[in-house]
Structures are given as C-alpha cells and as structure tokens.
Amino acid sequence: MTRADPTLDLIANAALAGAAVLLVARPRVVARAARSPLLPATRDIAVAAARLIAPAAPPPLPWRVAKARELARLISQYSPARLRRTRGVAKTAGRRLNGSSALLAFSVLADSAVEHYRGSFANRAMYTPLATAALTLAGSLFGLADARPKRHALRDAIYAAAALTGVAGFCFHTYNILKRPGGLSWNNVFYAAPFGAPAALTLAGLLGCGAERVRDMPSRQRPTILGMPAGRALAAVSAAGLASTVGEVGLLHFRGAFQDPAMVLPVTVPPVAATLLGAAALRPTLQTNRVARWWLKLTALLGLGGVGFHIFGVARNMGGWRNWSQNVLNGPPLPAPPSFTGLALAGLAALSLIEDETDA
C-alpha cells in the first residue's frame, strides 16, 4: 500500500457518507443532479483527477530482475568502500556538531555573564549557567580537536548537565517574570529575565549529546538517536532551535521598534531555513537539500554579521565605545547573534547525515 492510499480511503469514505446523508435529506436534489447533462463531463474530470493523484502502479518487474536489483542494492550498501564513506560522514558530522555546541556554549557564557553581572548576581544560582557553559565550551573544543570516532563519557556527562541546566534556567526565568507586579505582561516579558535565553544552553547540550552518539556509530550501521535516524533527529532539534531563537529575537527587536531595516533579517531568513530543514528531514530530495543547504549557509553568515550590527548599535548609544562599560550592558547583546551560526552549522551537519541515509 502506498502512502497516498490511507488519505484516499479517508476522502472516499467521507464522500460516501456525505452522499448518503444528501440522498436521505434531499432526494429531489439528487434526482435533478442525476438528470443533469453536466454529469458525464463531471465524471470524466473526476476520473482524470483521480488518475493524476493516484497514478496506476507500474507493472511488477520479473522475479530475476527484482532480486538482482535488491542484491545490487545490498552489495552497494554494505560494501567496504560505502561503509568507510558512511563512517567518514558520521565522524565529520560529529565534529561539526561539537563545533556547533561550542558556538552556542560561548554565546551563552558571554551573554549570561553580561546579563547576570547587570543583575548583580542577586541569586547565587546565577553563577550556575556560567560554570556549565564554560564546561560545555571546553568539552566541545576538546571534541572538535578529537579525531577519534568514539564517544567520550566525560563530554557526554557535561552535555547532559548543560541540557538540564538550561531547563532549570527556563523555570527560573519564568518564575522571575511571574513574580513581578503585573505577572505575565508585555512589560515584564520585554524587560525581565528573557524567556528563551536558557534554551540556548539546552540546545548546546542536546547537540553535543547528538555529536557523541553520531561519533559512536557501530561499524556496520548508520547512526541513530533514540531509535530514529540521527540526521532526521538532529535536523528536528536544529529546526526547533532556530524557531525558538527567532521568537526571542523577534520579541527583542519588536521592543526596539525595528528602527533599523536590517533588524527584519533575523526574523525572516532563519524561519525559511528552519522550514526547509524540516522539509528535508521529512521528505529529502536533491532539490530540497540543495536549497536548505544554501539557506543554512546564509543563516550562518547572518549570525556572524549580526555581531557587527550589534557593535554598531552599541556605538550609537550616548558616549559610544568610550562609555563601553555602560553601553555594553545596555546596548544590543554582542554574543547573541552567533547562536544562529551555531544552529545553522548543526543543520548542515544534519543534512550531510540525511543525504548519506537516503543515498541507497
């Protein structure tokens, strides 16, 4: 049974049920429609549309040809050259994911250091993301330099701690917003602890855990995560991360009234990249993968260019960079835009795994 069969069955059953209700409720309307001269033409159009939606299945191949093709596919899939290439793709993707996790961890470390310093570290727990992000950055750099295609227990533990710390940070930030006068209001969402900031640490941990599992691929298997193909699972994480980051950026740029036209770019380019990456994960094709790869590279460049725009934004404040000690705290956050670069690099690594998974 093809993928279209359940959908067509549902449509046919719904049409039959509707026709039965119409026949009972309005028999005269059914009789007039049956005598209409347009019925034969409508029937021909319906038949042509049905053939277009669900074309006839091709005739079965001869037994010998089908078995020969299946044998050739298995030989190609499990040949030593193919296994070496698959292992090389997984190793490269794992190191790219370590690099992506390093970028996200650096962004969290620098951003939380500035923001929590501005908050005078009023809560001792505000030191936790700094320590966790620093450990994640160190572990990711170690993974990036480590050429061994093996999982490392210490790196894996650090990544798991980072993911849990990000979840705890989200709960703390949510509590910080809700306890203020007015509770969940636009003013508190704009100026209290940001909702989405801890999510970057969670994403760094998840991508790092994914990197370790991709690197630890058995010799005759493709990498999997929680029973799913690793490429598709990591693509889903990267796409969700891009979507959540766009939400946080859109909120803060809306607070800034989009006074610079370039502020529209981070809320338009990454959503397209996330959508294309999701499409490549659900139904990979050569054209979809190519377009998704192009948009992800554009998103990575956007993240690096965003640092320059934020530097310019700090310079526009009173005193410019001569008053850096105040303007860096109050201006646009310099470490925030590289989050897009890290997530785009993770998406590119996921795409390479998806292409290898679908290249039978």
User: pLDDT tens digits, residue range 299-323?
Assistant: 999 999 999 999 988 888 888 888 8
Q: Is 225 helix (H, G, I), strand (E, B) or coil?
A: strand
User: What is the tally of helices (H) and strands (E) in the chain?
Assistant: 14, 2
Domains of the chain by residue range: 78-358
What pLDDT sits at residue 44? 62
Read off the pLDDT of each residue in 326-345 and give the average, rounded to a whole number: 87
Checking 8-13 for CB contacts under 8 A at 24+ apart, the result is 8/53, 8/54
Read off the pLDDT of each residue in 40-57 and give the average, rounded to a whole number: 57
Regarding predicted confidence, which is higher, 58 or 180?
180
What pLDDT sits at residue 345? 92
User: What is the rounded distance in angstroms from the CA atom of residue 95 to the CA atom of residue 285?
Assistant: 25
Listed residue (342, 299, 351) closest to 89, CA to CA? 351
pLDDT at 29 over 80: no
What residues have CB less than 8 Å from 311, skipping those under 6 apart?
Answer: 334
What pLDDT sits at residue 1? 42
- Tell me 228's DSSP state: E
Residues 188-228 pLDDT 10s? 888 888 877 888 999 999 999 988 888 776 656 677 787 78
What pLDDT sits at residue 225? 81
Three-state SS string over 78-144 comes to CCHHHHHHHHHHHHHHHHHHHHHHHHHHHHHHHHHHHHHHHCCCCCHHHHHHHHHHHHHHHHHHHHH
Burial 174-183 (b: 16+ CB within 10 A, else e): eebbeeeeee
Reported as a pLDDT band with limits 50, 70 and 90, residue 94 is confident
pLDDT at 100 over 70: yes
- Tell me 268's DSSP state: T
User: What is the rounded distance in angstroms from the CA atom of residue 95 to the CA atom of residue 61?
Assistant: 43
User: Residue 229 forms beta bridges with which residues?
Assistant: 224
User: What is the rounded distance in angstroms from the CA atom of residue 308 to the CA atom of residue 337?
Assistant: 9
Read off the pLDDT of each residue in 91-112 and give the average, rounded to a whole number: 88
User: Residue 97 forms beta bridges with which residues?
Assistant: none
Give Dmax over CA atoms of the chain in angstroms: 87
pLDDT at 360 over 50: no
Regarding predicted confidence, which is higher, 49 or 311?
311
Helix (H) or strand (E) holding 176: helix 153-178
Regarding predicted confidence, which is higher, 161 or 94?
161
Regarding predicted confidence, which is higher, 236 or 228?
236
User: What is the rounded distance in angstroms from the CA atom of residue 227 to the CA atom of residue 271?
Assistant: 27
Read off the pLDDT of each residue in 71-92 and give the average, rounded to a whole number: 59
User: Up-side HSE of residue 12: CA atoms within 13 Å toward CB?
Assistant: 9
Regarding predicted confidence, which is higher, 67 or 213?
213
pLDDT at 105 over 90: yes
Strand 224-225 with 228-229, pairing: antiparallel
Q: How many other β-carbons are positioned within 10 Å of the β-carbon of residue 139?
A: 26
Q: Is 55 helix (H, G, I), strand (E, B) or coil?
A: coil
What pLDDT sits at residue 55? 54
Listed residue (267, 268, 242, 229) closest to 342, CA to CA? 242
Listed residue (252, 306, 299, 258) closest to 275, CA to CA? 299
Tell me which of 161-165, 216-220, 222-226, 260-264 is least confident: 216-220
Ramachandran class of 193: left when φ > 0, alpha when ψ lies in -120 to 50, beta otherwise: beta
Q: How many other β-carbons are positioned within 10 Å of the β-carbon of residue 227?
A: 6
What pLDDT sits at residue 3? 45
Tell me which of 26-30, 120-124, 270-274 is least confident: 26-30
What residues have CB less than 8 Å from 151, skipping those under 6 apart?
Answer: 212, 213, 215, 216
pLDDT at 181 over 50: yes
Give the pTM: 0.72
